[in-house]
Structure 1
Amino acid sequence: MSDPASGPATPPAIRPARREDVPAVVALLADDPLGRTREDLGNLDPYSQAFDRIEADPAHVLVVAELDGVVVGTLQLSVVPGLSRRGASRAVIEGVRVAAGHRGHGLGERLVRWAIEESGRRGASLVQLTSDASRTDARRFYERLGFTASHVGFKLDLS
């Protein structure tokens, strides 16, 4: 058994998410000030439908970090082909989350490093991600892992 205060005795396993993991993944997505305003824990149908689309497309993978049978982290990795950069594919990391009681013990770093390595295995020559501008701790975290804040992002909500 692990002690969140001192970190896990054994490292969590990183594995592809299964349909039954969807509620735990959504709970992780909702477990911060931004997520609480965006996610709906009362209606998991859209998340299950999205999971089915992710699982059906080999360009995408949703993974979880599992410790003692409990999902304690997650991220989504997508590889996108492109014409720019001499036809390079780029990997996009999305939805990196670690359960509150497991933060600060290297799990987020382990997840992101897994995603970087998997990006290379999948033929990507660039890894990118976005993080909300209000997440200053996340920005420092990604910069510590070698990411550079190189672009200004734009979004247009179509909902």
Structure 2
Amino acid sequence: MILLAFLILSAICCSYALVRGGSPERLTAGVFLAGTFASIMISIHAPPPPEGFQSAIFLVDLAMLIALGAIMLFARRYWPMAITACQLLAVMGHVIRLLDPQIVPVLYWISTAFWAVPQMLFLAAATARHRSRLRRHGVDPAWSRRPAADHAG
């Protein structure tokens, strides 16, 4: 039931971002959709033991952290910092499990899966703010200039 609720929330938030968001919001929605799809496929084809470290899911979460970190570095938005911080907390949940295999399974689940819900809500709020800035100013620059562009002739 929790998985179904999350999938519905993800579908709503990511669809909203894909249809109404700027390029950082759309790119982030793509990262979330790819990560969710990969995690589901991994869980279907290679379910981990309930007490074990989920190495394949860890790699998906790590790849998402790298992608979200890149968005955070180049987007002219503040919200990617919050989303990337949530993803870092999820990755750290895996690291904690790796370092202490005796951690209570529900705590492992909370430390890794819980953060996806705030991420979806941040994305929906970010998309709404993007729409607001477009209405107010007519434009909403998406990306910061690269440092190397400042020195180009």
TM-score, length-scaled by structure 2: 0.32
Higher RCO structure, 1 or 2 (CA under 8 Å, sep 6+): 2
Task: Normalising by structure 1, report the TM-score.
Answer: 0.31
More strand per residue: 1
Larger radius of gyration: 2
